[in-house]
Amino acid sequence: MQRIILALLLLSSPALAAQFECRVIGIADGDTLTCLTADRKQERIRLRGIDAPERKQPFGERSRQNLSDLAYGKTATIHWTKRDRWKRIIGAVWVEPADCPGCGHTLDAGRAQLASGMAWWYEHYAKEQPPEERHAYEFEQTEARARSVGLWRDPQPIPPWDWRRGKR
């Protein structure tokens, strides 16, 4: 009974966070993946704090491939506080870095997407991020932009939120 009450509290309170491990079994795009939990349930995960180019948008397929290289087939730890209107979990996805076997889940996939210039920091939702994560994500985007990596090679990259509204 205590577990059920705790689970309900975690799901209903944005101040409290939950976490679980799963195996990444699919990559939809540069900010959404599917994983399989220990009880064999599939969960769609939307990476908190980033917005990646749409698949038909410039850099969209490269962004999807980069997230796949980071996470596909790996065990991940998901830290989350809410679901969106499509029932996706909104959370941070942590995996073991490819260059550090045995290091554990020390790579934040969302932050890595920003560092490689494969996503935008989704500033509109920054308040939903823990302060340390928010500052790290803002920093990674600023650095990627300054280095002109990934989508920042384009002199006027179109943010996905504008692309979806048809501002191409």
Residue 115 one-letter amino acid? A
What are the tokens at 95?
A: 């995996």
d(CA 83, CA 59): 27
Enter the pTM of the model: 0.88
48 in catalytic set: no
Active-site residue, selected from the candidate residues 43, 54, 96, 133: 54
Predicted local distance difference test score (pLDDT) of residue 168? 54
134 in catalytic set: no
If you count them, how many residues does the chain have?
A: 168
d(CA 68, CA 30): 8
Predicted local distance difference test score (pLDDT) of residue 16? 60
d(CA 33, CA 106): 18
CATH for 17-164? 2.40.50.90
Predicted local distance difference test score (pLDDT) of residue 17? 77
Residue from 151, 164, 156, 165 nearest 56 by CA: 164
Active-site residue, selected from the candidate residues 43, 48, 64, 88: 88
54 in catalytic set: yes
Q: Show pLDDT as tens, one digit a residue, over the chain (168 residues).
A: 444 333 433 443 444 679 999 999 999 999 999 999 999 999 999 999 999 999 999 999 999 999 999 999 999 999 999 999 999 999 999 999 999 999 999 999 999 999 999 999 999 999 999 999 999 999 999 999 999 999 999 999 999 999 999 865
Active-site residue, selected from the candidate residues 43, 46, 64, 96: 46
